[in-house]
Amino acid sequence: MKLIPYLRSLFLAIALTILYPAGSRAQETWTASPETVAKSTRSQKGFNYFEDSIPAYKVPELMISTSGKQIITKNDWMKLRRPELLEIFRENVFGRVPNTKYSESFKVVNTDKNAMGGAATLKQVEITIASECKSLVIHLTIFVPNNAEKPSPAFLLIDNRGPDNTDPTRKIKSPFWPAEEIIARGYAISVFSNSDLDPDNFDDFKNGIHGVLDRGERKPDAWGALSAWAWGASRCMDYFEKDKNIDSRKVAVVGHSRGGKTALWTGAEDQRFSMVIANESGAGGASLARRRYGETIARINSAFPHWFCSNYNNFAGREDKMPFDMHMLLALTAPRALYIDAASDDLWGDPRGCYLSLVLSAPAFRLFDKYSVVPELMPPLNHPVIGGHIGFHIRPGIHDMTVFDWSRFMDFADSVWKKK
Ligand code: GTR
């Protein structure tokens, strides 16, 4: 037996016992308050918010391949299971990126070495994508800390909330993108707007990157808006790989809600991102679809027909027929790092379903890091859990992304990237 890992596990076990004695641990879990359940039931009629009304379900096995092979080794995961799951999600949920040829160029259009009162260097970069006679520009904003290690590990937000949240001049500040706090902790912080890739409305896939890259008839597995936004995050990564001030091996992709679903898909498609952070990602994101708690597949596809590929709608009301559930999407981040979070009033996004999904995804992470363990029992409010390459918290409050959330993301990054 190796002594150091053994002593480490022993120490962890003792610390957990002191912090959470067995007797008290049983009660220490989050449950939706009856008031919030009643309020959600009133405001979104026809959807379930009661745990005991969830239908009996069984999620497909994560660690058994489609052909019935048990997934035991890292190689089994990387060479067999991961690729087949990725295909399942391309085919049935997010759609496939077309293989149209395009060119990509980067232009730094503004640099300010004295941004944030001297704490950071601001760079504004235009990423131009062109194909045949059509083109599109992604506007990437980056702040790099002046007084921290270089190249800097970085966070990239897929912004779905509009420019007031990400003001490069910092005249307008928003807790949704607390750039100063992130710089103070020694990380670079960057952002692009999802609408640069594809405006968030249904226009039959004419505008945005669909207008630039799509050719011919649209197939049922053609990419939707979420996949287009994720593709945009990858183009930002193309730039990071060329910027010597950014440590492109330590970039976390972050998204809130529809952006959280997108962050999960970004990490699934693009293994250059070493961390994925999905804030309140709910249906089509982290939460288990089979629970049918809060938002359902039928509803998300009818309200947002442009988000996913049209095959996803085949499972509207037929969740039990899905050859997957969302724990498999989470597992596509393995062996990299994954952080999921939820908010107590956001029952539409099924906080418990998100946590269960994380627990069910953990075996994939454990193939690479035996410390990737989180308790079976969902933690209580304001009680983040981090086990190796996976982490989670639920905080009180509404559907939003706050400074508290970002602080926990940075704690997780400190822990995974071993930053003091
Ligand atoms: C809701 C949608 C959710 C979530 C949210 C958001 O209307 O039903 O799936 O994505 O929008 O992005 O804020």
Distance 405 CA to ligand 1 centre (A): 18
CB distance 300 to ligand 1 below 6 Å: yes
Q: Is 210 a catalytic residue?
A: no
In this predicted structure, the answer to whether residue 8 has a pLDDT above a threshold of 90 is: no
CB distance 235 to ligand 1 below 6 Å: no
Within 8 A by CB and 6+ apart from 389, the residues are 334, 335, 336, 337, 338, 365, 368, 369, 371, 372, 416
Span 127-138, average pLDDT: 98
- For residue 380, whether the previous peptide bond is cis, meaning omega lies within 30 degrees of 0, is no
CB distance 262 to ligand 1 below 6 Å: no
pLDDT value of residue 420: 55
CATH class of 91-417: alpha beta
pLDDT tens figures, 253-286: 999 999 999 999 999 999 999 999 999 999 999 9
Span 334-342, average pLDDT: 98
CB distance 285 to ligand 1 below 6 Å: no
In this predicted structure, the answer to whether residue 6 has a pLDDT above a threshold of 60 is: no
Q: Is 399 a catalytic residue?
A: yes
Tokens linked to 225 = 């808006």
Distance 258 CA to ligand 1 centre (A): 6
Distance 399 CA to ligand 1 centre (A): 9
pTM, two decimals, is 0.94
CB 245, CB 144: distance < 8 Å: yes
CB 266, CB 234: distance < 8 Å: yes
